[in-house]
Amino acid sequence: MNVLRKFSLARLVAMLVKEFTQMRRDKLTFGMMLGIPLMQLILFGFVINADPKHLATAVLLADQGPQGRTMLSAIRNSGYFDFVKVLQTEMEAEEALARGEVQFVVNIPAAFSRDLLRGDRPAILVEADATDPAATGNALGALRVLVRDALQHDLKGPLAALAGVDGPIELRIHPRYNPEAITQYNIIPGLMGVILTMTMIMITGLAITRERERGTMENLLSMPTRPLEVLAGKIIPYILVGYIQVGVILVAGYFLFGVPITGNVPLLFLAAFVFIVANLAMGITFSTIARNQLQAMQMAFFVFLPSILLSGFMFPFRGMPVWAQYLGEILPITHFLRIVRGIMLKGNGYAEVIHDLWPIALFGLVALVIAVKRYRRTLD
Amino acid sequence: MPEVTIDVRGMTKRFGHLTAVDQIDLQVCAGEICGFLGPNGSGKTTFIRMLCGLLRADAGSGRCLGYDVIRESEQIKRQVGYMTQRFSYYEDLSIIENLDFVARMYQVKNRRAAVAASLEKLGLSERRNQLAGNLSGGWKQRLALAACMIHEPKLLLLDEPTAGVDPKARRDFWEQIHQLAAAGLTCLIATHYMDEAERCHRLAYIGYGKLLTQGTVAEVIAHANLTTWEVTGPRLVELAERLRSAAGVQQAVAFGNTLHVSGDDAGALRRAIQPLRVAPYQWRETDSSLEDVFIHLMDQLPDNARS
């Protein structure tokens, strides 16, 4: 009762008027309140697919007979496999998988048709990039079914006997890189990308805005400094912090979660350098655009969401619609995830890594150029 | 003829529709302390920021420390010490760390010695490891002064350096400024305090972006051509009310138990107060103070110039 009597409607109205006025002034926050739900709706509604289809597949077709082609069209018709590449050699298949260009390689050996008609039960070899068990699971399940049924139309009449008990064809699946389908093998290297993205963007995002908010920017600008000196000075300390994070994740991943490190660790550290700098540069760019620390944080949040959802960290990259994949390709984390997983799980070397390293470097460079251009040397 | 440190003409700065600084000419000689006065929002800070390259001037030309004030702001920055209105050093660094940072920024030779000397000179030695954020206003101001002088600038631009500082600290501060000026340092000091204005060699008064008057204290007062009467007696507030509406009276301001009545037409003022020169009021003509002059200048500005 006492509480109610002290409650003043007039004062509540005063608070409301003030809050609404402030909300109207802070357009970015208001935009975020509309933008974030829209972004989440689009990402979760259209992009996220727990049953990824149309996965990039390469074909190694050595067989000349009609049954080999029948098999391939059956595989394509399942909807899980998109044939994006025709390969000639086993070497090429190896490379395409290592680079992550394709999720699967379907290998139909020479004399497949002949052996089939002879009743020799020929084998189809499917190599799968199983680093992300979620990406391949359903596709491989569908494959097992369709291989048994695909040739039913062809194997009629006198050939019916070939169908046999086990089916006319043997399906050999090689789940590469993570044969036991251990989720951690995929998640832990991925976390390295996510953690670096979040912390690095945030820390430099606040760097310039903090100076501006605390009033120290005026002083800094009155000194004879060059933009690059200030920006580099704000970036370099956090490269060290980034490396500490990389170290912690590697050690914990290896000893705590048993994630293998099959590739070259120095190469990983080199790639991490480029990635860390690119993220720091992105953060500092936000910092030069945002008017205060809150705005910088909001901008950073706008990058976190796609970084987690579109990069292939949480959901299979190849399972997303093509336009979403293009968006994902812009983000440094998408490329870094391929690099880390490639080095740790696939044992990738310099030749594979460089394909994903230059987009990160380019991104960082563009961000840095924008930051230097945007960095105001006066208070205008 | 002494060397001229600041010699600028037609300095103008616009923010949208507002002309914050409007065609200001200013000359300050080496070793001179120039007081920069004017009401809030009159453009003092904007003008100072243009001098040290923090804001780009929309128009104007001239030289500062021998460099082109528009094109060579990088060179000017190296020789200017700028003390901002608001404390703008790092609150999460200690005194010595702040000084060391600034010394490095200006590439001061014999940095350690320079920092130590600066601490010593300003009496900050014992507090060197205290965080700047924990200092009181007066000590912050000392630190800011030490920091903006560590590279031995030839020109000090001080933007209301003594706001919120106690009288003793203010006196110490001015003592220092005079010593430095005697050694050849030029100072441009923005201030609101009349007692501080009186300590300057020369004054420049700006209102709503325009330079209204400049010269020594005596010159500024003489130039205003103001006559002031001092009156004592009972119920001065009512008297002031009556006087303000009288023709010829431009100001009637209470100073403790006296009232200062001023106008720039001596005859009209005399006629206006004539009917009131009766007991118990006691009138006497007095010198106009700097404050009387400044308020007079402010009142004369057209109303549309006020924001």
B126 and B176 belong to one structural domain: yes
Peptide bond into B280 cis (omega under 30): yes
pLDDT of residue B306: 45
Give dist(CA B302, CA B307) in Å, integer.
11
Q: Which of B45, B194, B221 is nearest to A218 (CA)?
A: B45
B112 and B137 belong to one structural domain: yes
Chain A 223-242, CB below 8 Å of chain B: which residues? 223-225
B185 and B240 belong to one structural domain: no
Which residues on B lie below 8 Å from A221 (Cβ)? Answer: 54
B150 and B126 belong to one structural domain: yes
Q: For residue B49, give the nearest of A214, A223, A379 by CB distance.
A: A379
Q: Determine the structural domain holding residue B134 and report its residue range.
A: 30-53+70-213
Select from B165, B196, B213 the last residue of a domain.
Answer: B213
Element (H, E) at A34: helix A27-42
Whichever domain contains B99, its CATH number is 3.40.50.300
Min Cα separation B106/chain A (Å): 7
Min Cα separation B170/chain A (Å): 22
Select from B163, B188, B213 the last residue of a domain.
Answer: B213
Q: Is residue B11 part of a domain?
A: no
Task: Count, in order, helices (H) and strands (E) of chain B.
Answer: 11, 14
B189 and B255 belong to one structural domain: no
CB contact under 8 A, B87 and A215: yes
pLDDT of residue A242: 95
Whichever domain contains B250, its CATH number is 3.30.70.250
- Angstrom distances, CA of residue B93 to CA of A80, B96, B115: 60, 8, 15
Q: For residue B82, give the nearest of A214, A217, A222 by CB distance.
A: A222
pLDDT of residue A141: 87
Interface test with A, best of B88, B155, B157 (most A CBs within 10 A): B88
What are A58's strand-pairing partners?
Answer: A85, A105
Min Cα separation B204/chain A (Å): 23
Q: Is residue B15 part of a domain?
A: no
> Three-state DSSP class for A226?
coil
Min Cα separation A304/chain B (Å): 30
| Low-confidence spans in chain B with pLDDT less than 70 | 1-2, 302-307
B77 and B163 belong to one structural domain: yes
Query: Exposed, middle or buried by CB within 10 Å (0-12, 13-18, 19+), for B98?
Result: buried
B305 reaches A (C-beta below 8 A)? no
Q: Is residue B59 part of a domain?
A: no
Which residues on B lie below 8 Å from A222 (Cβ)? Answer: 52-54, 77, 80, 82, 84
CB contact under 8 A, B91 and A214: yes
Number of domains making up chain B: 2
Min Cα separation A366/chain B (Å): 27
ipTM for this model: 0.85
Which residues on A lie below 8 Å from B52 (Cβ)? Answer: 222
What are B211's strand-pairing partners?
Answer: B206
Which residues on A lie below 8 Å from B55 (Cβ)? Answer: 378-380
Contacts of A325 by beta carbon, 8 Å cutoff, 6+ apart:
A317, A318
B227 and B261 belong to one structural domain: yes
CB contact under 8 A, A214 and B52: no
- Angstrom distances, CA of residue A328 to CA of A102, A317, A323, A335, B228: 16, 8, 9, 9, 77
Q: Is residue B7 part of a domain?
A: no
Q: Is residue B19 part of a domain?
A: no
Q: Report the residue of chain B nearest A378, measured CA to CA.
A: B54
Which residues on B lie below 8 Å from A218 (Cβ)? Answer: 54, 84, 86, 88
Give the dihedral sign, CA B91/B95/B97/B100: positive
In this structure, what is the dihedral angle of CA atoms B147, B149, B150, B151, given to the nearest 10 degrees?
130
Which residues on B lie below 8 Å from A223 (Cβ)? Answer: 77, 102, 105-106
What are B189's strand-pairing partners?
Answer: B35, B158
Instruction: Identify the DSSP state of B2.
Output: P
Q: For residue A216, give the nearest of B77, B80, B88 by CB distance.
A: B88
Q: Which CATH architecture has domain A55-176?
A: 3-Layer(aba) Sandwich (3.40)
Give dist(CA A62, CA A64) in Å, integer.
7
Contacts of B5 by beta carbon, 8 Å cutoff, 6+ apart:
B28, B29, B30, B32, B64, B65, B154, B155, B186
B18 reaches A (C-beta below 8 A)? no
Tokens (6 digits) for B297: 């200048």
B270 reaches A (C-beta below 8 A)? no
Q: For residue A218, give the nearest of B74, B88, B106 by CB distance.
A: B88
Q: Which of A179, A235, A185, A202 is nearest to A337 (CA)?
A: A185
Q: Is residue B4 part of a domain?
A: no
Q: Is residue B149 part of a domain?
A: yes
pTM score of the predicted model: 0.84
The domain segmentation of chain A, as residue ranges, is: 55-176, 183-374
Q: Is residue B12 part of a domain?
A: no
> Three-state DSSP class for A106?
strand
Other beta carbons within 10 Å of A38: 9
From first to last of its 380 residues, chain A has per-residue pLDDT tens of 566 678 889 999 999 999 999 888 888 888 888 888 888 888 888 887 778 888 889 999 888 888 888 888 888 888 899 898 888 888 898 888 888 889 999 998 888 888 888 888 888 899 999 888 888 888 888 888 887 777 776 666 666 666 665 677 888 999 889 888 888 888 999 999 999 999 999 999 998 899 999 999 999 999 998 888 999 999 999 999 999 999 999 999 999 999 999 999 999 999 999 999 999 999 999 999 888 898 899 899 889 989 998 998 888 888 888 888 999 999 999 999 999 999 999 989 998 899 999 999 999 999 999 998 988 878 77
